[in-house]
Structure 1
Amino acid sequence: MANYYSIQDPILHEIEIKKSRFLTYLIPIQSEAEFQEHLASIRKEHYKATHHCQAYILEEDSSVQRMSDDGEPSGTAGMPMLEVLRQNELTYIMAVVVRYFGGIKLGAGGLIRAYSTAVSEALGEAQMIQNVSQMLVHVTVEYNQVDRFNYQLEQGSLPVTLMDTVYTDKVQYQLAIGLDVLEDVHKQLTELFNAQFVWDELGEQTVNVPREV
């Protein structure tokens, strides 16, 4: 079960509507201080822009939510942006839409659609992640066992996330395994290798893995 959903890396996406340019920045953040730092940087880079509208959500339960229309008519920018983030159940994320006014007014409805679309399209390019509580496990096997293990990974028959692989005199896989399937995975590997492998639990951690669709 996911602790929360967010995005992996920053995204910059641009659209043009009736000669106005809308540049959307989506950035994963952990605090309001981070939000302020990124916002200041964006304002500095786009100091000639008409508006720098904002929305962000923080905490695992999404309890911190803020938005700003930054000079656009009330409710036409920040709230639509925030609503897109909410609908995608995202947190620890900020969105800033920089608008360069093109001379044609869009009206309230047009602005709401523009800012919603700007954030939605940017999210379409983002790598969605889910933060989950998993056990980190080192599984060490002999080289003659590698093909069997890699085949299981490629087939997706093992509900694990491969974090790292180290090659020495043996091969060590670092796996992130959901707590609810930990025992099942250990049983599968025991049967696969006839108990001829090393299983070393490193401890429980929260990790980011691709979001399940």
Structure 2
Amino acid sequence: MLETYKTILEGGCGEITEKKSRFIATVRPVKTEEEALAFLEEMKKKYWDARHNCFVYSVGSNREYTRCSDDGEPSGTAGRPMLDVILGEDIYNVAVVVTRYFGGVLLGTGGLVRAYSRAVQEGLAASRIIEKKKGICLRVTTDYTGVGKLQYIAGERSLPVLNSEYTDRVILELLIPFQDVDEVQKAITESTNGRAKMEKDREMYFAVLDGEVLTFEE
């Protein structure tokens, strides 16, 4: 599993016109190759009257399922340039279909490459892209004298508190970036003189968007 990667939170749609040809780029987040292929079929049905529905998708932490298609355009003028944009932006688990309505003017090889590349860029610009980071939910149990110290550590390091329980003791669930877990555990142990009990509850991915922490179970 990747410790951090860019992906699509919400897909978007971008459009450009080049010498009277319309290029409509639709972007969708996908988790499996089956989802990508279903999305492709959905776009083909939606734009059934278009000359071309070229596509690219890349799924998996090692890009295990990556394909692209020119869909009738001259070889190498659509699918590969679209893939190059995705790879250049380093985005994972994404599918893009660029629909072309032919405008009657031939664009030439270079013109097609530029048009399909630019269409994907417009589609990505209309989407919400996030950076997911691998994290650990650390369940920390302490007495009331240790709460302030835990809150200080969480605030100092900008660690989100996922949940809290206040009974005869206090339980805080802290979301910690994967690479910082040992360091945070050490800080908690030192600040509470070893009285806090810590348990690695579960792994998850998280992202920060507009100051809000989003969590993802994967």
TM-score by length of 2: 0.74
Are residue 209 (structure 1) and residue 207 (structure 2) matched? Answer: yes
**Identical-pair percentage:** 30
Aligned equivalent of 1:199: 198
Change over 3 Å in CA distance of 1:78–1:144 after alignment to 2 = same
Are residue 112 (structure 1) and residue 110 (structure 2) matched? Answer: no
SS of equivalent to 1:181: helix
SS of equivalent to 1:76: coil
Gaps of 5+ in 1: none
Mapping of residues 94-109 of structure 1, within 5 Å: 94-109=95-110
Give the C-alpha shift of residue 79 in structure 1. Answer: 0.5
Aligned equivalent of 1:185: 184
Give the C-alpha shift of residue 209 in structure 1. Answer: 3.4
Gaps of 5+ in 2: 210-218
The CA distance in 1 between the partners of 2:145 and 2:162, in whole Å, is: 16
The CA distance in 1 between the partners of 2:200 and 2:104, in whole Å, is: 61
Aligned equivalent of 2:90: 89
Q: Could you tell me whether the CA contact under 8 Å between 1:52 and 1:97 is conserved in 2?
A: yes
The CA distance in 2 between the partners of 1:80 and 1:103, in whole Å, is: 22
The CA distance in 1 between the partners of 2:45 and 2:165, in whole Å, is: 47
CA-based RMSD of the aligned residues comes to: 3.3
Q: Could you tell me whether the CA contact under 8 Å between 1:146 and 1:171 is conserved in 2?
A: no
Change over 3 Å in CA distance of 1:159–1:168 after alignment to 2 = closer
The CA distance in 1 between the partners of 2:145 and 2:111, in whole Å, is: 61
The CA distance in 1 between the partners of 2:145 and 2:16, in whole Å, is: 55
Mapping of residues 133-212 of structure 1, within 5 Å: 134-139=135-140, 145=147, 149=151, 153=154, 157-158=156-157, 160=159, 162=160, 164-166=162-164, 169=167, 172-191=171-190, 198-203=197-202, 205-209=203-207
SS of equivalent to 1:184: helix
The CA distance in 2 between the partners of 1:6 and 1:40, in whole Å, is: 25
Change over 3 Å in CA distance of 1:210–1:111 after alignment to 2 = farther
Change over 3 Å in CA distance of 1:100–1:193 after alignment to 2 = farther
Q: Could you tell me whether the CA contact under 8 Å between 1:68 and 1:77 is conserved in 2?
A: yes
Q: Could you tell me whether the CA contact under 8 Å between 1:13 and 1:25 is conserved in 2?
A: yes
Aligned equivalent of 2:12: 12
The CA distance in 2 between the partners of 1:77 and 1:93, in whole Å, is: 17
Give the C-alpha shift of residue 131 in structure 1. Answer: 5.1
Give the C-alpha shift of residue 38 in structure 1. Answer: 1.0
Equivalent position amino acid for 2:79 in 1: G
Q: Could you tell me whether the CA contact under 8 Å between 1:7 and 1:128 is conserved in 2?
A: yes
Equivalent position amino acid for 1:94 in 2: A
SS of equivalent to 1:113: helix
